[in-house]
Structure 1
């Protein structure tokens, strides 16, 4: 089975929980029966026994790609265009299930079997409302990686982000250099939008981009309020100022999630015999020849048979496991800070102290909880929800083709950001369905059904830095230790406080006053006045959350940077035949979402690899 809702066990463990009523559990059973399978089980490479992988423990390839996330899927597509190159794509997770392709199910598929369900180490200043102050960090453990479980936003970041990378000593990474690699993969299907913003997007590429096809009954509500607050309507992927507001552009393909697996792997799977895909395969080590300093092979465990296998790379091994698992794999392979490796019982093979360092993430603060009445809520019965699923399965239409309230964003510049047109705050809404009697969130219900709006304030340029470390008790099989260190740098707190102050003005707009919306005051902060900084400091402590964009743990930089892990071609410093290609290489996170830049990174370096081995 490709998908199981692992967190449903909480309901069975506590049947008195008002949010876990029998009809809710019946709905979960419906989901398991009808949308937990994967269409990808029908591909020939899944039905046909692959003799070499099944019956031998060693096989040889030209390239081995570790991780079938956003970067890995793009790389597998581009490298297999060379017909005589044999490419192995290894993925720890399972095939992408039907439920993940339904846009409104994002909140159902996180903390399920296709999510790594990471938790940070206890935070000093953040996430106090979560158990032990350990922040939840969802990451995709499935074909397509986090592009199969994320909010589907297509946001590139801004010119200054990439020019900043180049200024740090990374030639070829300026905005001028990377822009064509964004455009190449885009298929913007909104013709009106293309006409309004000519030259901003590509068409005919592999990845569909559009507005949500379903207009929720409250669609445009927040957009109107933001305009009333003085924010102009913009295209946030433009080359000019992006201070303003916009409908979100999604990787939505006519009502279905267009994950990077859907866009880059499904069209070629079974058609290119030189692409071998092995799911449920956990890579435990990259083997480095200590004399030649060359990466030669990987060791991986077939999670279904529990057998260890070896794959040999004739040309290169590419680690694309993401900002958490990529540094972990390097450290398991003896690449990192020697002292830390020895503490974990790992023999140091190559000293690179920057591995796992420079971890940073956008910081989100749940700022407003706005109660909706019966006229603005979209609560529905189980029977109607099941019918909506049936409708989506046959038409890809209806409320499940959208993301509820998650359809608008805004960019704001606080007084702490001095570059004209450059934002340091992003604002966005989300849907929440609560049981009014207990005030508990009702789980397992799609974003299309809600009775409360959440409004988040996101810090776009955090200065705080954390770290990924191995779990010394069981380095291989235990999740790595994640130290997010939110707000360790006081400047982050200053910026987010200024952003929260701006966001609160939404409540004073005529748009919101006319609706008679009621703002919910957080229980942990009721002792403070809502308009006070003490209240804001309280919600910062209790209601911080991940921005879903961890980056930086295999930092790109020149040799002169002691914390750099890879060079401008994403080759690991001091080693041959090994690259890291994913969001972990970003020296600084972009002022946008991380999925589009990760696709761009893989596209750009796939060209470098092909040129290096064919010229």
Structure 2
């Protein structure tokens, strides 16, 4: 019997999963873009002038375009390297199933010969959405604001106006909460009802009840709303989706204003360089149009970079703004020696951790039923925010947990398709879940000390940059992450997990052979070799005081004029959770700051 089940596992990993990838691609092609939802392609001329040029129509860029075009006298050009989102990316449940086939920049980290060696390529696929809405159209839709202390620390580090009391109103401004239970709770005052971004919390009934009770027995609070007054604890997930569509920022912020006369959108257009005059003022951008023509577009007021934590520093360096030594090495004329451009990259490293569940027969039809849940996340999901130091009010690690039934394809498929773990580990996982359910979890180190960086690969704007993850370059991160894993898995000692004889599944990692499974040294090895990204790169153009920050507290690039950065790259440090909501907040706040700077009364 075991040989038959093993054969099924091998078949799934070696034959079925590659077929599923082909099906994912086919599904995306069968659900092309609905062009009627989005602004039409602008017609532009060489040297044409706009009041503002925004580079990048992702989580931040779409929000900013919406807010700046509220000023009817301003003409705003939004440049996006991708196209309209395919319809498959808008259908909430379907978008998760086909996530790996959605338009992507296809970036990979550099193999450092140290971390992530248990992945197939020994490099990490840094998935970044390449379409209107950017990564808000490819992520898993979790809506997490982070912790009050995250933002208070930003302000304490010299970034005036970024404390929690100031930024919280911008979370509320963007939000259209659609949860009666949350709006009837004591956290209602923290949420907005009139914004563009719908946020929902699906009701999964009793599916996660046993698991949540186990975490409660372990000593954790069970939260109605982890975006409320308390973040520490476990609670059901909130998502940027509603009954109709995934709330990527193109759908939620651009579609409602698609006919504004002062909004101009260029799609399939790559910004190649920022144009600067002899006074170090940004006066426009050089861009490649869809047909290949390279033109110059002028900005009367400002050029605003919203291309993300990888592409924004790349564009700055291509334009001569960056670390002098690196620019000279690349034979780029140095306009401004800005040593922190592309440096200080922080990211949320995560690892999959699977605990076996009940031995319960589930029919094939029941197992594929979640595939029909296209209006929401395909399976019940809850999040946990945990600290080892019980005296602190912010979390050390995050748990993203999904209970799965017997024989579910989701755990091995995610590990193979999304995180690219080696096949032998995927087969070991499939073996253990053929006859048992599982609690599939991603454990995330929320506040790493390690830093990565972005360098230029070449002076060709079409070439991807070099991405150095920097994972575990600070030894403390490896030690702490192993402790977080050990803390999380103590849940198997609770009543429910003992009743079902739950076990932590051994993924049989090649690099950890000879180390006793479950020992502290084993978990250090496990974390080191399976670490992948939660796609939360930040701080490559961080906000900070002069001499440290690439941008100031109003997000203006230090050392030049007419140039601002509004995206994840300006965040001084990682927030305690998924970053899509914080990036949208940054754009909302930036919109007001820009209006103020140009004399618009709010």
Give the TM-score category using the shorter length: 0.7 to 0.9
Structure 1 residues 583 and 433: alpha-carbon distance in aligned structure 2, compared to 1, 3 A threshold: farther
Contact 2:173 2:195 in 1 (8 A): yes
Q: How does 1:79-158 map to 2 (within 5 A)?
A: 79-158=68-147
Contact 1:433 1:452 in 2 (8 A): yes
Count residues with an aligned counterpart.
568
Contact 2:168 2:190 in 1 (8 A): no
Please name the residue that 1:606 is paired with.
591
Please name the residue that 2:422 is paired with.
none
Mapped to 2, the partners of 1:165 and 1:251 lie a distance apart of 25
Structure 1 residues 247 and 436: alpha-carbon distance in aligned structure 2, compared to 1, 3 A threshold: closer
| 1:563 aligned to which of 548, 553, 558 | 548
Structure 1 residues 216 and 133: alpha-carbon distance in aligned structure 2, compared to 1, 3 A threshold: farther
Identify unmatched segments of 5+ residues in structure 1: 1-13, 389-398
Contact 1:405 1:429 in 2 (8 A): no
How far is 1:252 from its partner?
Answer: 1.5
Please name the residue that 2:576 is paired with.
591
Structure 1 residues 370 and 282: alpha-carbon distance in aligned structure 2, compared to 1, 3 A threshold: farther
Q: Does 1:195 align with 2:190?
A: no
Structure 1 residues 301 and 432: alpha-carbon distance in aligned structure 2, compared to 1, 3 A threshold: farther
The TM-score with structure 1 as length reference comes to 0.86
Structure 1 residues 434 and 283: alpha-carbon distance in aligned structure 2, compared to 1, 3 A threshold: farther
Please name the residue that 1:4 is paired with.
none
Contact 2:79 2:269 in 1 (8 A): yes
The TM-score with structure 2 as length reference comes to 0.87
Contact 2:350 2:534 in 1 (8 A): yes
Please name the residue that 2:329 is paired with.
343
How far is 1:141 from its partner?
Answer: 1.1
Q: 3-state DSSP class of the match of 1:542?
A: helix
Mapped to 1, the partners of 2:571 and 2:529 lie a distance apart of 29
Identify unmatched segments of 5+ residues in structure 2: 1-10, 419-432
Q: Does 1:40 align with 2:35?
A: yes
Q: Does 1:537 align with 2:524?
A: yes
Q: 3-state DSSP class of the match of 2:325?
A: helix
Structure 1 residues 581 and 104: alpha-carbon distance in aligned structure 2, compared to 1, 3 A threshold: same
Please name the residue that 2:239 is paired with.
250
Q: What CA deviation, in whole Å up to 9, does each residue of 1:157-195 have, x standing for no partner? A: 111111111111111111111111111111111111211
Contact 1:19 1:440 in 2 (8 A): no
Mean Cα deviation higher: 153-162 or 566-575: 153-162
Contact 1:368 1:520 in 2 (8 A): yes
Q: 3-state DSSP class of the match of 1:599?
A: helix
Q: How does 1:248-327 map to 2 (within 5 A)?
A: 248-254=237-243, 256-270=245-259, 272-289=260-277, 291-302=278-289, 304-327=290-313
**CA-atom RMSD in angstroms:** 2.9
Structure 1 residues 288 and 377: alpha-carbon distance in aligned structure 2, compared to 1, 3 A threshold: farther
How far is 1:405 from its partner?
Answer: 4.2
How far is 1:378 from its partner?
Answer: 7.1
Q: 3-state DSSP class of the match of 1:199?
A: helix
Q: 3-state DSSP class of the match of 2:374?
A: helix
| 2:383 aligned to which of 409, 423, 441 | 409
Mapped to 1, the partners of 2:116 and 2:243 lie a distance apart of 36
Please name the residue that 2:469 is paired with.
484
Mapped to 1, the partners of 2:154 and 2:168 lie a distance apart of 14
Structure 1 residues 441 and 153: alpha-carbon distance in aligned structure 2, compared to 1, 3 A threshold: closer
